[in-house]
Every structure is written in C-alpha cells, then in structure tokens.
A and B are shown apart, each in its own frame.
Chain A
Amino acid sequence: MLPTPDTSHVPYSRVYEPAEDSFLLLDTLSSPSETAFLSSRFTTTTSTTKSPPPPPPPLVVEIGPGSGVVIGFLTAHAQTIFSTREVLACAVDVNRFACAATVTTAAKAVAENAGTAGLFLDAVQGDLGAALRRGVVDVLVFNPPYVPTEELPVPVPPPVPVSAVNVVVDQEGRKKTETTWEDDSHLLALSYAGGKDGMETTDRLLDALPGMLSVRGCAYVLLCAQNWPEKVKERMRRLGAAWRAETVGTSGKQAGWEKLQIVRIWRDIAVAPPAS
C-alpha cells in the first residue's frame, strides 16, 4: 500500500473531504493492471544520441481534485505508478479553496516521497478543461459531481460581487476573505451534485474529451450505478474504431450492483497511430 497524502490542512467545510470514491481512485490507479498500462504507455527511457528520442513526459491533469488527495498521490508515487519520475501534474477546480488545498497537499506529498515523486506544476481555477490547450492531456482523472440531483448548481462567475465576500483583517494585519456558510454549502454542492442522472457535468466532460486528450492520452472517470455506466462506455466506444472504454476498478457491491466504478477511456494506439 502506498501512503495516502496528508490532507489535514484542508478546510472540509468548503472543500470535498476524501471519501470512498477518492480512495477507489487511489486503489485503482496504483493497482498492478493500471500501473502496467500507464508504465507501458508513458515510460521514458534515458536518451542517448543513438536511440530515438524518448516520449516526452506525460501531463497528468485532475479535474475537480477537491482536497488534492488523488493528484497528490499520483505525483508523489510517480516512479511506482508510471515507472518514471518524469511526470508533470496539474489540476483544475471550480472551487478556489480546493485549488489552494491541492497545491499544499501536492507539495506535502512530494516532500514526503522525494525519491519517487514527479513534478507538480499548478492548480488553476476553471470549468473542466476549458482553459487547456487542445490535445495536451495524457492522463485525465475525473471524480465528478455524480450524485443525481434535481438542480445543477453553477459556480459563481467572476467578478465575485463585493457583497458576497467579507474582507477581514487577521492578527498579522493581512486582509483575508471570508465566505459565509451559504457560500460554503454551495461550494460543497458543486463537488457532488450532478443534476439529471448525476451526469450533467460528466456529459460535458465526455463531449470535450476527444479534444482534450493527446493521441496517447487516457482518462479515468469515476461513475456511480445511477450514472448508467454501461451506456457511458458504449457511447465512448462509438467515437471511433480506436476508442476503448473499460471498467478497471469497482467498490461497494449493493444487491449485486457495483456502487462505484472507475472507467478507463483511451485510444488503441495500434489502431490510431500518432499523426507524424
């Protein structure tokens, strides 16, 4: 078992606390089948002047990292999971507090695993992959807001109205912003409420996925039983002859149904060779 990153600094009143879904991602991504898959897909060998140049280091992006426990884990244990420390990691979350928490989680996890860690770049605030350049993501990890809800909460668009933010001065005279309880519960709702079938946000991500992934790219998406995971896999396979979608991790059997599962979505490189 690889150590789980320390998230003791994370404000759980406004950032999603690591739960069964987060731990299923950790277990799945460090399982023998997935480390074998990721290593064969992204391993860089030491370059020499005679051999062809090694594949460049993969960019691992987690959308919606919350506490940062998953991306912190992937970065800290890069050598074990990818068979190389040459891994670049970053994260995108709609919640600014989650971005800050993720930066700290990743920094702590990397410091505690200096011998195996890759490189954590940044956490940015944003909506899914909207700010990412086309085709740059090699490994995408998404633990979506998957709970079916009547309404889909939307992030507060910038500029944040001044009235919604209380500026307080702390003991050292620095200005800090404070959010109210309503704001906090809204931030938490963004992390779990998925609208119809719990799929409204995931559907948007899946639509954008072909444009986000590199040719060698793959995505790990967590789904719950109410998300109709079999339909999701069929839909991704219909993208083209090279597209694959398989369940690679499950947890919490309920009446014979898997409560949660991780679906890996990727292109078979042998069917779709990289363009030049």
Chain B
Amino acid sequence: MKVLTLNFLTCAVKACKSSNDSFPLHPKDAELAHDDIEINSQLLVNVLPRIDWTALRTTSTELGFPELPEQPPTAETLEADEAMLKELHTLLLETQMMEGKLVCGHCGHEYAVREGIANFLLPSHLV
C-alpha cells in the first residue's frame, strides 16, 4: 500500500473517529518495497493541497525517510524544486508497505498489512 493512501485512512473503530490520535495510523514492523512509477510533476503539485502534511511528516519519519519540512512547500516552490518533486514522488507513490501493521494511536488496535493489502475489518468485540 502506498504512503499517499495512508494519508486517506484512519482507525475503523467508531469511538476513535473523534480523536486526533487515530490519524495517521502508525506503521509497525513495516517491510517496504519500491515500485518504479513515472513521475508526474503536475499531479504532485496539484495533489499537495489535499494532503494532510502534518500526518505525512509523521508517516515519513516513522518509515525511516528523512524529515520533511514543517510546512508544505507552496506550488511555486515545488514546481521549481526538482529534487523535492522526486523525493515526494518516491515517498508518496513509489514506496509500498508490503507487510507489517498499522497501529491506531488512540485505541492501540493493530491492522495487519499482508502482501500490500491492509485489513481494516474489526474483530467482533470492536464493531
């Protein structure tokens, strides 16, 4: 699963929805893979406004990537910064979490990721 996808996902437990700690989910024992995808700079620039940057910074650090700047780059900065475009492209789209767990910071529930597919079905006591 891609890092960009993680930016759209949260804990499936109803009671966690109102807590800020349920997003982003925290990767644990993550095995990463790299997919070669052709870079689309315009898409990256346009996707930027819909990314929760603070959450992306957390995910990025937790996956062992270099720390992202505190504030997201502006569209103009990003368009002109080829190195940063490449870095974001690699992080958001080319990095795949293949195995491991995603942990909710609020309830502690661990969602398994196997062969790149995360399982958000809840055990019956949490539904």
Give the Cβ gap from A159 to chain B, nearest Cβ, in Å.
Answer: 7
Q: Contact between A157 and B12 (Cβ–Cβ < 8 Å)?
A: no
Q: Give the most central of A59, A130, A159: most B CB within 10 Å.
A: A130
With A and B bound together, what is the CA distance between A44 and B118 in angstroms?
30
Q: Contact between A56 and B47 (Cβ–Cβ < 8 Å)?
A: yes
With A and B bound together, what is the CA distance between A177 and B15 in angstroms?
33
CB-CB nearest in chain A for B10: A133
Q: Contact between B115 and A100 (Cβ–Cβ < 8 Å)?
A: yes
Q: Does A86 contact B (CB under 8 A)?
A: yes
Measured as residues with beta carbon below 8 angstroms from the partner, the interface class of chain A is 35 or more
Select B43's contact among A53, A86, A122, A158, beta carbons within 8 Å: A86
| A56 partner residues in chain B, CB cutoff 8 A | 46-50
Q: Does B68 contact A (CB under 8 A)?
A: no
Select B117's contact among A47, A99, A157, beta carbons within 8 Å: A99
Per-position binary interface string of chain B over residues 1-42, scored 1 when its CB falls under 8 Å from any chain A CB and 0 otherwise: 110110111111010010000010000000000000000101
With A and B bound together, what is the CA distance between A104 and B121 in angstroms?
22
| B43 partner residues in chain A, CB cutoff 8 A | 57, 85-86, 119
Give the Cβ gap from A247 to chain B, nearest Cβ, in Å.
Answer: 29
Q: Contacts A96-B119, A130-B120; is A124 near B46 (CB within 8 Å)?
A: no
With A and B bound together, what is the CA distance between A66 and B47 in angstroms?
27
Q: A residues 92-149 with Cβ under 8 Å of B?
A: 92, 94, 96, 99-100, 103, 119, 121-127, 130-134, 136
Q: Contact between A131 and B123 (Cβ–Cβ < 8 Å)?
A: no
Q: Contact between A132 and B46 (Cβ–Cβ < 8 Å)?
A: no
Q: Contact between B5 and A122 (Cβ–Cβ < 8 Å)?
A: yes
Q: Contact between A132 and B9 (Cβ–Cβ < 8 Å)?
A: yes
Inter-chain residue pair count (beta carbon < 8 A): 109
Q: Contact between A124 and B1 (Cβ–Cβ < 8 Å)?
A: yes
With A and B bound together, what is the CA distance between A49 and B76 in angstroms?
7
Select A126's contact among B1, B17, B119, beta carbons within 8 Å: B119
CB-CB nearest in chain A for B48: A56
With A and B bound together, what is the CA distance between A57 and B46 in angstroms?
7
Q: Does B127 contact A (CB under 8 A)?
A: yes
CB-CB nearest in chain B for A90: B5
Q: Does B107 contact A (CB under 8 A)?
A: no
On B, residues with C-beta under 8 Å from A are 1-2, 4-5, 7-12, 14, 17, 23, 40, 42-43, 45-50, 52, 75-76, 93, 111-112, 115-124, 127
> A85-B43, A124-B5, A124-B119 given. 19 additional CB < 8 A pairs?
A47-B46, A56-B48, A59-B8, A86-B47, A90-B8, A96-B119, A103-B117, A121-B2, A122-B117, A124-B1, A126-B12, A127-B12, A131-B9, A131-B120, A133-B7, A134-B10, A155-B121, A157-B121, A158-B123
On A, residues with C-beta under 8 Å from B are 44, 46-47, 49, 53-54, 56-57, 59, 85-86, 88, 90, 92, 94, 96, 99-100, 103, 119, 121-127, 130-134, 136, 155, 157-159
5 A–B pairs (Cβ distance < 8 Å), ordered by A: A49-B76, A122-B118, A131-B111, A133-B23, A158-B123
- The 5 A-B residue pairs whose C-beta atoms are closest, nearest first, are A126-B120, A131-B120, A130-B12, A56-B50, A122-B5
